[in-house]
Structure 1
Amino acid sequence: MNFSYYEELAKTTNTVTVDNTWSQGRSVFGGLAAAMVLTYIETQTGLKDCDLRTVNVHFCGAAVEGEACELKYKVLSEGRSVIQIEGQLLQDGAIKTQIIACFSRARLSGVNLTPAPLVFTNSPEDGIKLPFIKGVAPGFIEYLDTRFTSTAKPYSGSSEAVISGWIRFNEAPEVFSDSAILALIDAWPPAVMPMLHQPAPTSSITWNVEFIQPRETLAADDFLYYHCDVIQADHGYAHTEAKVYHPNGQLLALSRQLVAVYDKPKK
């Protein structure tokens, strides 16, 4: 059951059960949960003349794989140019994932600043592919083609708090949607992981993504380039900031997360 399967379910029903192949431990992969809520919002509201601008995600609790999830949405405000919509994924009436998505209609403006395209110093072929090892890697890794280009790897005890590389789905969706981009951004391990000396749990608490508009169309099998830095980390929490790029170098999205780190201090 690939990403397209769950994306299609979220378009047609408000009740979804995610199997264990999309798990992080016993929890549903957070990127898939957020993507399903966003898909449900976009389908139910039919916002054909609007662009997605921001998504704010709160991971309020672990959604358990194999149990029914309910999708809900509510329009918070709607003006001439901007509409803000709340969406939720619930289990047994408890909110597990909550998002607020902001959509906008284009307006004439004299302000225009387009960042220069990124000139890549590597390609997907240069990256080290993350293998899927059942029982070791999170289940959802099976569905992704993830290639690291950063030198410091997770749990290497590095002073380099950076993760970068290329990513796409193993089975390309028909359309590279907003939800697909959202899921792929969250698929990367937190950039704090290379600083750890041994495996330790980490958990995203809040997540903000700003989508750059307008953007060029993505082919279904395109890679996205991802670069993430740890901005600050202390007292068991890390603040990370990432940029996501189209394969032509165009900036696609800005992503920021607050990550809880459950490690033990090195003696």
Structure 2
Amino acid sequence: MHIDQLLALTSEASEQSAILWQSTHPGLPSNWGQGRTAFGGITAGLIYHALNQVVDNDRNIRAYHVNFIGPVSFDTPFELVIEELRTGRNMSQYLGKLVQNDRVCVCVQACFGVGRKSKIHVDKLPEHNMAIPKKAKFIPQIPKVTPNFFRHFELAIEQGQIPFSWSKHSHYHGWMRFKQPPATFTPTHLVTMIDCWPPAIIQQLKLPAPVSTVSWDIEFVQPLEVTEENPWFGYQVDTKLAVDGYAHTEATIWDNKQRVVALSRQTIAVFD
């Protein structure tokens, strides 16, 4: 199922009150799976899509904090619940939850803010020298190794090795895009796509092992300006620390015009 078909499932929401938004879904197909659970990028993307339908149009997403609390089963109905925590003159704060079988599986706190004139200006965002690829360069679909959701994305790896290759690397540099482009590229698609890269630390493992993202923070530093049908987005991630079965990573995401559009941080549990 194409991502736009999944997002359409959230378009017929009914507003229950001033602060609550709910929608019941038939469930996610297994081709958006990652082991026994749904791909984290698609669940975070669905919640963002629901949030975007209730936030004021003058506000852009600024910060998006995701906690993956429990597995999301396939082909099982779930609800998206959106609660407005506070809306002021400049910012709006929301809480979003994906609920399945009366349990919270994914929880998001999101901040949307208007752009304002300011005398303060600091720009120390990183740059890169990666050339935009002509085609994807990554691993093929490998049963029981490659997550099912990989079929929806194209990755072009520039630095780093494939997962479970017993590599000494703990970083990835490269590019990403959808295999089948969305009708209109939005922040929802960017949220979904950022999470498609495997955790950089697992390339150090010799054999496949369960890996789970615990928490994920995305900061959107510039509004999207997508003019091409299916552009490549640059991605560089580095593992800052890995100890006691947990890894902590930081990533930068660029559009194809060398503009930093997002910063991403993850806490990852590795069960090797």
Q: Using structure 1 for the length normalisation, give the TM-score.
A: 0.93
Q: CA deviation at 1:127?
A: 5.5
State the 1:119 CA deviation. Answer: 4.1
State the secondary structure of the residue aligned to 1:192.
helix
User: Paired residue for 1:59?
Assistant: 68
| Residue identity opposite 2:2 in structure 1 | N
Cα contact 1:218–1:246 (8 A) shared by 2: no
Alpha-carbon contact 2:187-2:224 (below 8 Å) kept: no
The amino acid that maps onto 1:10 is T
Tell me the CA shift for residue 215 of structure 1: 4.2
Aligned to 1:39: 49
Does the CA-based 8 Å contact 1:117-1:249 persist in structure 2?
no
Residue 230, structure 1, aligned to residue 239, structure 2: yes
Q: Tell me how far apart the structure 2 counterparts of residues 61 and 255 of structure 1 sit (CA, whole Å).
A: 21
CA distance in 2, matches of 1:138, 1:217: 28
What are structure 2's unaligned runs of at least 5 residues? 14-22
Q: Deviation of residue 137 (structure 1)?
A: 1.8
Aligned residues: 262
Determine the structure 1 residue equivalent to 2:29: 19
Q: Offset of 1:129 from its aligned partner?
A: 3.0
Instruction: Give the CA deviation at 1:101.
Output: 0.8
Write the letter of the residue equivalent to 1:41.
L
1:77 to partner: Cα distance: 1.4
CA distance in 2, matches of 1:155, 1:135: 13
Matches within 5 A, 1:48-127: 48-115=57-124, 118-125=127-134
Q: Residue 257 in 1 paired to residue 266 in 2?
A: yes
Q: In structure 1, the residue corresponding to 2:46 is in which secondary structure?
A: helix
Report the secondary structure of 1:18's partner residue. Answer: coil
The residue number in structure 1 matching 2:7 is 7
Residues 118 and 126 of structure 1: is their aligned pair in 2 closer, same or farther, counting only changes over 3 Å?
Answer: farther
Q: Assess if the C-alpha contact under 8 Å between 1:232 and 1:239 holds in 2.
A: yes
How far apart, CA to CA, are the structure 2 residues paired with 1:116 and 1:240?
17
- For 1:255, what is the secondary structure of its paired residue? strand
Structure 1, gaps ≥5 residues long: none
CA shift in 2, pair 1:123/1:212, >3 Å: same
Alpha-carbon distance between aligned partners in 2 of 1:121 and 1:29, rounded to the nearest angstrom? 27
1:156 is displaced (CA, Å) by 2.0
Conserved 8 A contact 2:157-2:175: yes
Give the match's secondary structure for 2:112.
strand
Q: Distance in 2 between matches of 1:106 and 1:252?
A: 15
CA RMSD of aligned residues (A): 1.7
TM-score for the superposition, normalised by structure 2: 0.91
- Whole-Å Cα distance in 1 between the matches of residues 227 and 246 of structure 2? 34
**Amino acid of the structure 1 residue aligned with 2:232:** F
User: Which residue number in structure 2 is paired with residue 187 of structure 1?
Assistant: 196
Amino-acid identity (%): 31
**Preserved contact between residue 65 and residue 216 of structure 2 (Cα < 8 Å):** yes
Residue-by-residue CA offset, 1:132-186 (whole Å, 9 max, x unaligned)? 2455421111111122111322212222210121111111112211111011111
**How far apart are the structure 2 equivalents of 1:64 and 1:126?**
33
Q: Is the CA contact 1:124–1:166 (under 8 Å) kept in the aligned structure 2? A: yes
